[in-house]
Amino acid sequence: MTMLADTRYSNRRRAVAAAFAGDRLDALVVDHGVHVRYLTGFTGSNGGVLLRKDLSATVATDGRYTTQIAEQVPDLQAITASACAPTLAATVEGPCRLGYEADFTSVSQRNALEEAVGEDVTLVPVTGLVEKVRLIKDEGELDELRAVAALATQALSELIEAGELAVGRTEIAIAADLEYRMRKLGAASTSFDTIVASGVNSSKPHHSASDKVIESGDLVTIDYGALLRGYNSDCTRTFIVGEPTDFAREIYDVVYRAQQAGVERAVAGTACKDVDAACREVIREAGYEQYFVHSTGHGIGLDVHEAPAAAAKSTGELAAGMTLTIEPGVYIPGKGGVRIEDTLIIRDGAAENITTYPKELTVIS
């Protein structure tokens, strides 16, 4: 089992090394936690890795994690240090062009790197390099995403079957019940603060669960996710509690058809912006275009929001092995809203939908 894990991480390091060598870099220092985990398997809160173009690498962490890093990263030499990136950078011999991740490096951290390296080491800011490699998930990652999506689906199913989404209960109580069920099933935590938005609150795309009481006829949007072994899930379903109004049925039907259109369009080779356009066209034809106020979707993995993005101004195309959420919505202030979201694994043919909770209109009586 260790051999398989080592091969997976070494393959990722090889891909990143090839990418930075193409940018005429000799080495890259990484201390962004998600990227350290992606490249080494180390899960401690303080770590770093130095990658060299000859494919060798060194990791670092502080004294709290020396045993853990030895267990999780047995194939790499480890250095004990509190300031991981500067300590690793100091080991680089010049002349050398040393890259660092500019998006995750503050001015003071950049200054610490400058002080650590020799005069013949040139620091080069790098943006988006590891993220580009992460776009295509390996099979191990896809299995993790399937597992966490299945856990989250089971939690929501149990919540509904137990009658915990009901008239008279508060949004925050329902959110707490759902989060408890995810933790009980093995989730390390939620991926983000659970959204339970009922009645007029459902017109707010990112409403925070409140003490509002669910009333008969309310649209109730639940947007939730679990975190399991570092990987995230993301799913949204909208329910109607009690007797549905004509308004609720109408906008649900519009969003349902828009979401289906996006799912069908999300195949390898499709421009990301065309997925957004497919959803938006259905909503525009129904006369609700002004109430679709966000982009259609995003990638998911070690981060809950990562590339690619499906938006009107997105660039690039989908490729097999990418992930993408499809989550159109209609939000009418003072009345209510609907959002439906699935997480897809992009394939050459039809995408694999890993969020399997039913999305046809569900009325909770």
- For the chain, count helices (H), then strands (E): 10, 20
* Residues 348, 327 share a domain: yes
Please give the structure tokens belonging to residue 297: 């979707």
* Residues 72, 127 share a domain: yes
Instruction: Work out the end-to-end distance of the chain between its first and last CA atoms, rounded to an integer number of angstroms.
Output: 49
Beginning with the edge strand found earlier in the chain, give each strand of the sheet holding 226-228 in spatial order.
189-190, 226-228, 231-232
pTM: 0.95
Instruction: Say how far apart CA 313 and CA 291 lie, in whole Å.
Output: 18
* Residues 147, 75 share a domain: no
Please give the structure tokens belonging to residue 190: 């939620």
| CATH code of 254's domain | 3.90.230.10
Check residue 130 and give its pLDDT.
98
Last-in-domain residue among 106, 134, 162: 134
Pure H helices in the chain: 2-22, 33-40, 66-72, 84-89, 107-116, 129-134, 139-161, 171-184, 246-265, 272-285
* Residues 240, 267 share a domain: yes
| CATH code of 22's domain | 3.40.350.10
* Residues 320, 204 share a domain: yes
* Residues 326, 234 share a domain: yes
* Residues 112, 167 share a domain: no
Check residue 198 and give its pLDDT.
98
Check residue 149 and give its pLDDT.
98
Check residue 6 and give its pLDDT.
65
Check residue 4 and give its pLDDT.
46
* Residues 143, 130 share a domain: no
Last-in-domain residue among 119, 134, 149: 134
pLDDT in tens, the chain (365 residues): 344 446 899 999 999 999 999 999 999 999 999 999 999 999 999 999 999 999 999 999 999 999 999 999 999 999 999 999 999 999 999 899 999 999 999 999 999 999 999 999 999 999 999 999 999 999 999 999 999 999 999 999 999 999 999 999 999 999 999 999 999 999 999 999 999 999 999 999 999 999 999 999 999 999 999 999 999 999 999 999 999 999 999 999 999 999 999 999 999 999 999 999 999 999 999 999 999 999 999 999 999 999 999 999 999 999 999 999 999 999 999 999 999 999 999 999 999 999 999 999 999 98
* Residues 124, 92 share a domain: yes
Check residue 2 and give its pLDDT.
42
Instruction: Say how far apart CA 73 and CA 60 lie, in whole Å.
Output: 10
* Residues 80, 11 share a domain: yes
DSSP state of 143: H
* Residues 168, 25 share a domain: no
Check residue 3 and give its pLDDT.
42
* Residues 97, 246 share a domain: no
The burial class, CB within 10 Å (0-12 / 13-18 / 19+), for 22 is exposed
The three-class DSSP label of residue 98 is: strand
Look up tokens 């329902």; give the residue: 174
Is residue 297 within 8 A of residue 278, CB to CB? The reply is no
Write out the residue range of the structural domain in which residue 86 sits: 2-134
User: Into how many domains does the chain fold?
Assistant: 2
Last-in-domain residue among 84, 102, 134: 134
Check residue 55 and give its pLDDT.
95
Q: Distances in Å between the alpha carbon of 116 and those of 82, 93, 110, 159, 174?
A: 14, 11, 10, 53, 51
Q: Which residues make Cβ contacts (< 8 Å) with residue 330, sequence separation at least 6?
A: 251, 254, 255, 283, 288, 291, 292, 337, 338
Pure H helices in 162-271: 171-184, 246-265
